[in-house]
């Protein structure tokens, strides 16, 4: 898996195409919650500590609709995987060659 929590991503498809956000959480093997992307309105009933009404909520997005954004060159890239001398696996930007943390 080349996407992780707190990565900056670009949305490639859907109504939010072109938006950028940060991965908040991994929902399952192929879906991620992205900040301020894929927002829907939910009609909620009142609960113990919550009011009723219409709230905006982020929904998960499939990984095929997301692309990692390099922190250095600020462009969307499909990272390649390289092994360091100590055997550690790192993600590397294909455009600028910088490692992505």
Cβ-contact 9, 77 below 8 angstroms = no
Q: Specify the pTM.
A: 0.85
| % of the chain at pLDDT higher than 70 | 99
Beta bridge partners of 35: none
pLDDT tens digit string along 5-29? 999 999 999 999 999 999 999 999 9
pLDDT score of 50? 86
Give the DSSP letter of residue 35. T
Please, how many CA atoms are within 13 Å of residue 31, restricted to the half-sphere of its CB? 8
Question: Which domains, from first to last, does the chain contain?
Answer: 1-69 (2.30.30.30), 72-101 (no CATH)
Give the DSSP letter of residue 9. E
Q: Is the pLDDT assigned to residue 101 strictly greater than 90?
A: no
- Which of 28, 41, 34, 43 has the alpha carbon at shortest distance from 14? 34
Q: Alpha-carbon distance 3 to 78, whole Å? A: 10
Mean pLDDT for 82-98 is 93
């Amino acid at each position: 898996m080349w996407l992780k929590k707190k990565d900056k991503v670009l949305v490639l498809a859907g109504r939010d195409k072109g938006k950028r956000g940060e991965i908040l959480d991994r929902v399952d093997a192929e879906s991620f919650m992205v900040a301020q992307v894929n927002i829907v309105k939910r009609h909620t009933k009142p609960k113990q500590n919550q009011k009723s009404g219409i709230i905006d909520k982020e929904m998960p997005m499939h990984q095929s609709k997301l692309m990692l954004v390099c922190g250095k060159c600020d462009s969307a890239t499909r990272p390649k995987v390289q092994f360091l001398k100590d055997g550690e696996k790192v993600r590397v930007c294909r455009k600028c060659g910088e490692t992505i943390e």
